[in-house]
Amino acid sequence: MVSKEGILMDEGILIKIIDFPRDYRFNFLYLLHVTEGWYSVTPEDVAIHIAERCRCDIIIDAFCGVGGNAIQFAFTCHQVIAIDIDETKLMCAKHNAMIYGVADRIEFILGDYLKLIPKLKADVVFLSPPWGGPNYLSAKTFDIKTMIPMDGEKLYRESLKITNNIAYYLPRNVNIQQITNLAGRGNTCEIQEVYINGKLKTMVAYYGELVDMDFCENNA
C-alpha cells in the first residue's frame, strides 16, 4: 500500500496529511452488513495505518462496530478488547474477526464503554464513537461536545482514567481547536487529515505517547 504524506499549517496548528490510494471497506465477501455498520466501518487501509500507529500490548477499541479497526489492531497488538453496545454489531465483528483469523486475539465485550471504564486497563484506547447520524457533515464545523451523542469531550476525559495514549477518529469537519485543546495546556497532540484518492475523508487525533514527536519537532 502506498500512501502520500504531507503537512499543513492551520492557524498555527500543524496538521499531518495522509492520502490513501484506495477505498476498501473489508476485502472479503461475507460482511454481515445488516445494519448501518457498513457505512461506519473505517476503510481498511486507514484502519491498517491506525493499527500500526497504535502498536502496543493491550488496546481497547471502545466502539468496535463491525470490527473494522479491532481486526487490524489484532495484527499489531498483543491483545484487543473490543466493546460495542449493539449486540448485532458485536456479532458481526466476531464473525468478521473469524474470517480474518484473529478472533482468538480479541476479547469482545457487549456494553456501554463509559460504564465499563472503571474496570478497564490498557496501554492505548481507540475512540471511534458515533457521529450522530449521516447529517454530521451538514454543520460547518463538527462540535465534539454537542454532536457526539455521549459528549466527545467527556468521552476523552473519562478515557484518561485508563491511559493518556488515546487515538480519536473524527469527522473531517471537526473543530480543530477543540481537539487540540483536549491535549491540555503544554501538551502536544498530533492531528492527521486522512485522504482517500485526494479527497479529505476523516481526521485522526493522537495523544500521549502516540504523538510522533520527531515529526512535530522537525516541522514546527
Rule CB under 6 A: which residues touch ligand SAH? 40-42, 63-69, 83-86, 89, 112-114, 128-130, 150
Find the DSSP H helices in 87-166. 87-99, 113-116, 144-147, 152-159
Q: How far is CA 43 from the centre of its chain?
A: 11
Round to whole Å and give the CA distance between 201 and 17: 11
Q: Which is nearer to ligand SAH, 17 or 117 (CB)?
A: 117
φ, ψ of residue 170 to 5 degrees: the values are -135, 160
Q: How far is the CB of 145 from ligand SAH (least distance, A)?
A: 16
Round to whole Å and give the CA distance between 215 and 125: 22
Q: Which is nearer to ligand SAH, 155 or 179 (CB)?
A: 155
Q: How far is the CB of 19 from ligand SAH (least distance, A)?
A: 19
Q: Which is nearer to ligand SAH, 151 or 212 (CB)?
A: 151
Round to whole Å and give the CA distance between 104 and 7: 38
Q: How far is the CB of 42 from ligand SAH (least distance, A)?
A: 4
Q: Which is nearer to ligand SAH, 38 or 215 (CB)?
A: 38
Q: How far is the CB of 7 from ligand SAH (least distance, A)?
A: 26
Round to whole Å and give the CA distance between 130 and 89: 13
Cβ within 8 Å of residue 180, ≥6 positions away = 13, 189, 191
Q: Which is nearer to ligand SAH, 109 or 211 (CB)?
A: 109
Q: Which is nearer to ligand SAH, 86 or 216 (CB)?
A: 86
Q: Minimal CB distance to ligand SAH: which residue?
A: 68
Contact 112, 91 (CB under 8 A): no
φ, ψ of residue 192 to 5 degrees: the values are -110, 135
Which residue from 92, 48, 45, 95 is spatially nearest to 74, judged by alpha carbons? Answer: 48
Q: How far is the CB of 40 from ligand SAH (least distance, A)?
A: 4
Q: How far is the CB of 123 from ligand SAH (least distance, A)?
A: 19
